[in-house]
Amino acid sequence: MKTIPFFPYSDLFTRDEEALSKVMLDVCRRGAYILQKECREFDAHLAEYMGVKHAFGVANGTDAIIIGLKAVGIGPGDEVILPSHTYIATAASVHLVGAIPVLAECGEDHMLDAADVEQRITSRTKAIMPVQINGRTCNMDALQAVADKHGLMIIEDAAQGLGSKFKGRSAGTFGKFGTISFYPAKLLGCFGDGGAIVTNDDEVAAQIALLKDHGRNEEGRVVAWGYNSRLDNMQAAVLDYKLKHFDVDIARRRAVAARYQEGLEGVPELNLPPGPKSNSDHFDVYQNYEIEADRRDELRSYLEGKGIKTIIQWAGTPVHQFNELGFTVELPKTDAFFKRCMMLPMNVVISDDEVDYIVDSIRSFYLEKP
Ligand SMILES: *Cc1c(COP(=O)(O)O)cnc(C)c1O
Confirm if 137 and 171 have CB atoms less than 8 A apart.
yes
Ligand 1 centre from 159 Cα, in Å?
5
Over residues 35-94, the pLDDT tens digits come to: 999 999 999 999 999 999 999 999 999 999 999 999 999 999 999 999 999 999 999 999
- The confidence score (pLDDT) of residue 370 equals 58
Minimum-distance ligand 1 atom for the alpha carbon of 160: 15
Using CA atoms, how far apart are residues 312 and 327, in angstroms rounded to an integer? 21
What tens digit of pLDDT does each residue of 342-366 get? 999 999 999 999 999 999 999 999 9
DSSP three-state, residue 268: coil
pLDDT at 2 over 90: no
Does ligand 1 lie within 6 Å of residue 86's CB atom? Answer: yes
Predicted confidence at residue 1, as pLDDT, reads 74
Quick: pLDDT tens for 237-279.
999 999 999 999 999 999 999 999 999 999 999 999 999 998 8
CA angle 155, 158, 161 (to 5 degrees): 145
| Residue 233 in contact with ligand 1 by CB distance below 6 A | no
* pLDDT, tens only, 263-321: 999 999 999 999 999 889 999 999 999 999 999 999 999 999 999 999 999 999 999 99
At 369, the pLDDT band (50, 70, 90 cuts) reads confident
Helix intervals (H) in 151-271: 202-211, 233-243, 246-264
Amino acid sitting at position 201? D
Q: Residue 42: phi, psi to the nearest 5? A: -65, -45
Domain coordinates of the chain in residue numbers? 11-243, 246-367
Ligand 1 and 261: CB distance under 6 A:
no
Q: 11-243, what's its fold?
A: Aspartate Aminotransferase; domain 2 (3.40.640)
pLDDT at 187 over 80: yes
Q: What is the reported pTM? A: 0.97
Report the relative pairing of strands 100-104 and 79-83 from DSSP bridges.
parallel
Class of domain 246-367: alpha beta
287 lines ligand 1 (CB under 6 A): no
How high is the pLDDT of residue 17?
97
Distance in Å, CA 61 to ligand 1 centroid: 5
Classified as helix, coil or strand, 115 is helix
Question: Mean pLDDT score of the chain, rounded to an integer?
Answer: 97
